[in-house]
Amino acid sequence: MINIKIFTFNAYSENTYVLYDETSECVIIDPGMYDGSEQNELASFIKEKALTPVLLLNTHCHLDHVFGNKFVFDTWGLKPQFHAGELPILQAVPSYAPQMGFSRYELSPEPDTFLEETGTITFGNSTLDLIFAPGHSPAHLCFYSKADKFIIGGDVLFYGSIGRTDLPGGNHQQLINNIETKLFPLPEDIKVYPGHGPATTIGFEKQNNPFF
């Protein structure tokens, strides 16, 4: 069974996730730690639980989701994994981060391994399915646990909202289509853990999300 620890980091109130199971292996998803106190918060939790980080995953590569990539690499030797279509987004971060007020951005390493549009990721005794859902960003991935009935959704679907599509590589109709064809067919009790804000469920959003 996968346990989920949620941290909310940086000026964008970004949700960083640590997933771990009974083997004590863990996956870090979208590390948003910007300063030392946030880095210590993540590291202290992992040490306290005696976890072994084995994967660093990015749903997408906007700056608020990759602030902590360098710290994770320096601390546990993990390079990020994401879809190759997000690499230009990652490479653009150093050029615009200072304009956004983030002068201390630590350059993220680039992947040795890219993720595909479909397939699975395994850690410990657990499996995550890849769901390719661009629209907010050009090659956004979600990570779905069928066994534990949740999805790490990044900036695709939020409680009562959807990801913004006015950033480079965004496409509103593509995002709507991907939510309708790839997320909404999932069981209604699937819990959605988004990149910002509170968790929701597929069923609630199908009934109540004003974009649909």
d(CA 49, CA 155): 28
d(CA 111, CA 56): 10
- Structural domain span for residue 63: 3-208
Q: What is the mean pLDDT of residues 22-29?
A: 98
Q: Which amino acid is at 198?
A: P
Q: Which helix (H) or strand (E) holds 205?
A: helix 202-208
For 62-71, 94-103, 169-178, 186-195, which range has the lowest pLDDT when averaged over its residues?
A: 94-103
Q: What angle do CA 172, 198, 136 make, to 5 degrees?
A: 20
pLDDT tens profile 30-41: 999 999 999 999
What's phi and psi for 190, nearest 5 deg?
-65, 130
> What pLDDT shows up at residue 200?
98
Q: Which amino acid is at 157?
A: L
Q: In terms of Cα–Cα distance, which of 130, 35, 135, 48 is closest to 81? A: 130
> What pLDDT shows up at residue 104?
87
Q: How many domains does the chain have?
A: 1
> What pLDDT shows up at residue 103?
87
Percent of the chain with pLDDT over 70: 100
Percent of the chain with pLDDT over 90: 97
- Predicted TM-score (pTM) of this structure: 0.98
Task: Check whether 145 has a pLDDT greater than 90.
Answer: yes
> What pLDDT shows up at residue 168?
86
Q: In terms of Cα–Cα distance, which of 171, 201, 147 is closest to 85? A: 171
46: domain CATH number is 3.60.15.10
